[in-house]
Amino acid sequence: MKITNIEPFVVSQELNTPFYFSQWEYSTRQICIVRVTLDNGFYGWGEGYGPAAVIKAGIEFFSQFLIGKPAIENETLWQEMYRRSMDYARSGTLQAAISAIDVALWDLKGKLLKQPVSVLLGGIKNPRIQPYATGLYFTKGSDLAIKLAEEAQLYKAQGFSAIKMKVGLSIEKDIAFVAAVREAIGTDMKLMVDANHAYCSKEALELCHKLEKYNISWFEEPVSPEDYEGYRRLRQKSNIPIAGGECEYLKFGFKRLLENECVDIAQPDICAAGGLTEVKRISSLVQAYCKDLVPHSWGTWIAISAAVHFVGNLDKNPGRLFDDMPTMELDRTENPLRDELTTKSFSLKNGIIEVPNAPGLGVDVNLDYLAKYSEK
Ligand SMILES: [Mg+2]
């Protein structure tokens, strides 16, 4: 059962309603997915998070070292890819290319062994997951506070118990929008905010103080991912838990984040930080620092399903008899690549995900859609 083909695809589609956040505007969704095929005809799907064309080039680079190798030895292949990249790209998009191939290899392994990925990771410790809804981005036009409040109410009606909204336009606007959303959802729903590193630590601390009365469960990426000292100072002075890590790669990046006491909640993206193989190692590191891990996830059902299986296997830290369900990110913004290119592998009812039992990730890709929207 050797690898015979590794095919990256860059897929793009325009959005009906462009949206923006503190850094960029999105008018198109674009992703790089990969299919790894074996000599017995089996194949697995993976996905990289980040600039799709660069990830595609990275996958093409790594392919030459993997063709003809046994797919089931995913950790051996991971190490081969890592060693081929470390002299030039110890973090960044080449690691997302490794992640995409790694996720596809886990999918393949599950299909070969007829087991869901969560079981292969060690077992389903958490059969049910309570994801939080990511949305509440900004759109053009007036009455943004009203639109955000209505969107938040929609997630509440769908059964979500927690939502995350964007901040980072300005402190005044952030306060106004958070106040509108909190009023719309009431006090019984968790609310998180994400600045996508829009602020310096002084601004972030001012925002923390002004947000405290809105009962914020975490403040995500308050400052630059380069500013470990700013993260640390903010965390020491803030009563709001600090989250971050979607811009970190491999265990080494998370070691920096943790030993600098930057975060209460570490947020590796499985499709960027090194795949399921490396993020499982990162979870041990996070546990050793007695912090929480909630994976960042942004993409198709391939990426989201990888996160579902990962969280299904995640250790409770420290755990208790009547424990809450673990959480993970579930992006609810417009994404035709998620909803039309791929098929959801798990059930989501009343805001609860059941970890699926199908072999591998359990994800299907619509090949007609792939042929129509992938770059030739
Ligand atoms: Mg974020």
Q: pLDDT grade, residue 345 (50/70/90)?
A: confident
Q: Is residue 200 scored above 90 in pLDDT? A: yes
- Secondary structure letter of residue 315 according to DSSP: P
Measured in Å, how far apart are the chain's first and last C-alpha atoms?
Answer: 29
Q: Report long-range pairs for 241-249 (Cβ below 8 Å, ≥24 apart).
A: 241/217, 241/265, 242/218, 243/192, 243/218, 243/219, 243/267, 243/294, 244/220, 245/273, 245/296, 246/221, 246/272, 246/296, 247/197, 247/221, 248/91, 248/273, 249/90, 249/91, 249/92, 249/95, 249/273, 249/274
The one-character DSSP state at 329 is: E
Mark whether 309 is an active-site residue. no
pLDDT at 84: 97
SS3 156: helix
Ligand 1 centroid to 324 CA: how many Å? 22
pLDDT category of residue 375 using cuts at 50, 70 and 90: confident
Q: Specify whether the backbone of 32 is left (phi greater than 0), alpha (psi in -120 to 50) or beta.
A: beta
For the chain, which domains are there? Answer: 3-114 (3.30.390.10), 119-365 (3.20.20.120)
CA 32 to chain centre: 15
Residues 329-353, mean pLDDT to the nearest whole number: 94
Q: Are 313 and 276 in contact (CB under 8 A)?
A: no
Ligand 1: distance of its center to the CA of 164 in Å? Answer: 9
Q: What's the CA-to-centroid distance between 165 and ligand 1, angstroms? A: 9
Answer yes or no: is pLDDT of 26 > 90: yes
Q: What is the structure's pLDDT at 290? A: 97
In this predicted structure, what is the pLDDT of residue 361? 98
CA dihedral defined by 106, 111, 104, 342, rounded to 10 degrees? Answer: -130
Contact 124, 134 (CB under 8 A): no
Residue 36 confidence (pLDDT): 98
Of 286, 287, 243, whose CA–CA distance to 267 is shortest? 243
Q: Is the pLDDT higher at 71 or at 316?
A: 71
What's the whole-number mean pLDDT along residues 49-62?
Answer: 98
CA atoms within 13 A on the CB side of 86: 9
Measure 246 CA to ligand 1 centroid, in angstroms: 7
Give me the mean pLDDT over the 259-280 stretch: 98
- Which of 197, 209, 296, 309 is labelled catalytic? 296
Tell me the mean pLDDT in the region 206-217: 98
C-alpha 247 to ligand 1 mean position (Å):
9
Q: How far is the CA of 233 from the centre of ligand 1 (A)?
A: 20
Checking if the pLDDT of 319 tops 90, the result is no
d(CA 372, ligand 1 centre) in Å? 30
Assess whether pLDDT exceeds 80 at residue 92: yes
Percentage with pLDDT > 70 across the chain:
100
**Looking at the predicted structure, is the pLDDT value of residue 43 above 80?**
yes
Query: pLDDT for 116-164, tens place per residue?
Result: 999 999 999 999 999 999 999 999 988 999 999 999 999 999 999 999 9
Rounded CA-CA distance 28/18 in Å is: 7
Q: Using one digit for the tens of pLDDT, what is the confidence trace for 279-292?
A: 999 999 999 999 99
**Cα(123)–Cα(312) distance, integer angstroms:** 8
Q: What's CA 328's distance to the chain center, in Å?
A: 8
State the DSSP H helix or E strand holding residue 288, giving kind and residue range, or none if neither: helix 275-288
pLDDT of amino acid 318: 85
Lowest mean pLDDT segment, chosen from 10-14, 139-143, 270-274, 278-282: 139-143
Please state the length of the chain: 376
pLDDT at 25 over 90: yes
Distance 221 CA to ligand 1 centre (A): 6
Q: Which pLDDT does position 376 carry in this prediction?
A: 72
109 has pLDDT over 90: yes
Q: Half-sphere exposure (CA, 13 Å, Cβ side) for 178?
A: 29
Handedness of CA 166, 172, 177, 178 (dihedral sign): positive
Ligand 1 centroid to residue 29 C-alpha, Å: 17
User: 248 alpha carbon to ligand 1 midpoint, in Å?
Assistant: 12
Per-residue pLDDT averaged across 163-188, rounded?
98
Residue 108 pLDDT more than 90? yes
Ligand 1 centroid from CA 195, angstroms: 7
Banded pLDDT at 90 (limits 50, 70, 90): very high
Average pLDDT over the chain, rounded to whole? 97
Residue 239 pLDDT > 90: yes
pLDDT at 189: 97
The model's confidence at residue 317, banded by pLDDT at 50, 70 and 90, is: confident
The residue behind tokens 């070969």 is 112
Q: What is the DSSP secondary-structure string of 188-240?
A: SSEEEEE-SS-S-HHHHHHHHHHHGGG-EEEEES-S-TT-HHHHHHHHHH-SS
